[in-house]
């Protein structure tokens, strides 16, 4: 077992894959915390579909330029398309010309249709998009890893450096605007880092599952913590653990790394949710006093049942037992 683990850690392919998984596991929940706070949990899915069009567009440009391999510009194309799509949906949401869920639906349909159409024009097939839809961490190259490091650094710099301002905007835009914060710029910043997160996680879990890695660790953290800062911290820890564990399992078993990572995250959420429900049910609940300012004439035990009688003094000095 030790020798197999050592072989995995000394494999250059697994070293790149593990580093990419750790970076994605840290950065994705950071952005996901803001999206959950803003009730935009499905924004990652919408951006992922738009990024698919960017992948196909990069493939088309690479094929037209005669580059080898033809998908060498796929990730840069996904970055550009995802950023444009995220900013567009934020502008639409801000101006209120259409509802947020309708705008996300338009991104869903347009992104998938555009990607399949463009990849056909580039001379490929819909099967060429599978590694981007469901992830293919085993194909991570050194250039992909360098781009992942740079984008993750930008995500963490914005997500952590502007945490106070972004939290204020995510919690209450009107209060943030009254406080003098640049609400529009901060909203666009959240949209841009969400787009970058989608493209960073594309190789690890795929465009169709990237939103799960952004949201599920945050849902787990909300079961364990109450503060915004601790939620972000715990979510990042959960993200790293499930990414590394999922990648390690798929090293020995022929399974999809992206799917395994998401299933592990959902499993962690289910276990903690059930455990929390059991603990809360077994915890004794003290009796609630609706009028704490009025002296009681009857004592209640911890279960809310009448306890030992108490003696009270009436207005005329008479005593009575309750």
The 10s digit of each residue's pLDDT in 112-164 is 788 888 877 877 666 667 777 777 776 777 877 888 888 889 989 988 888 88
**What DSSP designation does 310 have?**
-
| pLDDT of 56 | 85
DSSP secondary structure letters along 202-236: TTTT-TTTHHHHHHHHHHHHHHH--SHHHHHHHHH
Q: Answer whether residue 252 shows pLDDT above 80.
A: yes
Name residue 311's beta-bridge partners.
321
DSSP secondary structure letters along 59-77: HHHHHHTT-SSGGGGHHHH
Judge if pTM exceeds 0.85: no
pLDDT, tens only, 270-314: 999 998 888 777 766 665 666 666 665 555 555 555 555 555 555
Q: Is 263 exposed, middle or buried (0-12, 13-18, 19+ CB in 10 A)?
A: middle
Q: Are 50 and 81 in contact (CB under 8 A)?
A: yes
Domain locations in the chain?
Answer: 2-281
CATH superfamily, domain at 2-281: ABC transporter involved in vitamin B12 uptake, BtuC (1.10.3470.10)
């Amino acid at each position: 077992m030790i020798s197999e683990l050592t072989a995995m850690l000394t494999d250059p392919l697994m070293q790149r894959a593990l580093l990419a998984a750790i970076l994605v596991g840290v950065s994705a929940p950071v952005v996901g915390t803001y999206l959950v706070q803003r009730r935009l949990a499905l924004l990652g899915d919408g951006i992922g579909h738009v990024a698919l069009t960017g992948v196909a567009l990069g493939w088309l440009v690479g094929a037209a330029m005669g580059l080898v391999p033809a998908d060498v510009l796929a990730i840069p194309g996904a970055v550009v398309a995802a950023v444009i799509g995220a900013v567009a949906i934020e502008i639409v949401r801000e101006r209120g010309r259409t509802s947020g869920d309708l705008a996300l639906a338009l991104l869903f349909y347009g992104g998938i249709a555009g990607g399949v159409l463009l990849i056909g024009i580039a001379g490929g097939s819909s099967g060429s998009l599978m590694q981007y839809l469901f992830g293919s961490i085993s194909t991570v190259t050194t250039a992909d890893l360098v781009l992942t490091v740079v984008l993750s650094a930008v995500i963490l710099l914005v997500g952590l450096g502007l945490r106070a301002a972004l939290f204020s905007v995510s919690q209450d835009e009107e209060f943030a605007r009254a406080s003098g914060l640049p609400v529009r710029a901060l909203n666009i910043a959240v949209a841009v880092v969400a787009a970058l997160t989608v493209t960073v996680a594309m190789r690890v879990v795929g465009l169709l599952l990237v939103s799960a890695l952004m949201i599920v660790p945050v849902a787990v953290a909300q079961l364990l913590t109450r503060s915004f800062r601790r939620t972000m911290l715990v979510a990042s820890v959960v993200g790293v653990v499930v990414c590394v564990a999922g990648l390690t399992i798929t090293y020995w078993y022929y399974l999809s790394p992206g799917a395994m990572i998401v299933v592990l995250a959902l499993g962690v959420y289910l276990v903690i949710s059930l455990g929390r429900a059991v603990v809360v049910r077994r915890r004794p609940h003290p009796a609630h006093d609706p009028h704490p300012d009025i002296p009681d004439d009857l004592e209640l035990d911890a279960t809310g049942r009448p306890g030992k009688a108490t003696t009270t003094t009436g207005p005329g000095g008479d005593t009575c037992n309750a």
